[in-house]
Amino acid sequence: MKKKITIAIDGHSACGKSTLARGIADTLEYTFIDSGAMYRGVALYAIRNSCLSKDILDVKRLISLLPELSLNFYKSEEGSCLYMGEENIEDEIRKPHVASIVSKVAVIAEVRKKLVAQQRIMGKDGGIVMDGRDIGSVVFPNAELKFFVTASKVVRSKRRFIELQKKGIKQTIEEVEKNLIERDYIDSTRPESPLTQVADAIVLDNSNMTIDEQLSWALQKVFEIISLK
């Protein structure tokens, strides 16, 4: 049997990283982990535990409450879903009130330390496809295959807008674009594990690709690497 490799997928907000990661994982029968969901989970936890007042995050309080936070992925009918304790929070973490503060939560070193440690345990045996911002640079710097995914701002805003509409979440396309620009800026300029394109990542600009096209393109690279193992 071929060795099960580790595949790291990083890139900008709403560029289809998770869709690609899920597609690759399903094809290879690997584990798929959406690390952004975990940061969103911490943001939801902060909101629910009064760590936020008028958009100001009480970082000290959140750090003091982190040891009690339990986030885990479990399989459900809709696929892999994030749970906070016993509660499936997959829908809640996609809502705008969570998206609007998640980048502020993701800059906190203690938050990153906790989540990165958990992510490394999830990937210790390989056979994993994880997407995020620091997967190829920090979480799995020795991953056998790394992708850096991007797409134009207009395309990303449109895709996220349609996704939110389907879920019945009301936001204008301008609001969606503003949130993406803000998050990209914070994610790329923060001192702690900023979003970077590592030298050994394969770049994928999927602005003009369908979901199937990007999956076939990426799978070609995946099978090339696996055949060498």
Q: Does 40 bind ligand DC (CB under 6 A)?
A: yes
Alpha carbon separation from 178 to 5, 47, 100, 182, 195 (Å, rounded): 37, 21, 10, 6, 18
Asked if 11 and 21 touch (Cβ cutoff 8 Å), the reply is no
Q: Among 15, 104, 134, 215, indicate the residue that binds ligand DC (CB under 6 A).
A: 134
Closest to ligand DC by CB, 3 vs 48, is 48
Q: Does 114 bind ligand DC (CB under 6 A)?
A: no
Q: Among 39, 73, 148, 161, indicate the residue that binds ligand DC (CB under 6 A).
A: 39
Q: What minimum distance in Å lies between the beta carbon of 73 and ligand DC?
A: 14
- In the window 73-102, what residues touch ligand DC (CB under 6 A)? 102
Q: Does 46 bind ligand DC (CB under 6 A)?
A: no
The structure tokens listed for 121 are 């345990």
Sign of the four-CA dihedral 70, 26, 164, 135: positive
Q: What minimum distance in Å lies between the beta carbon of 191 and ligand DC?
A: 12
In the complex, the residues that contact ligand DC under the rule CB under 6 A are 13, 35-36, 39-40, 102-103, 106, 132-135, 183, 187
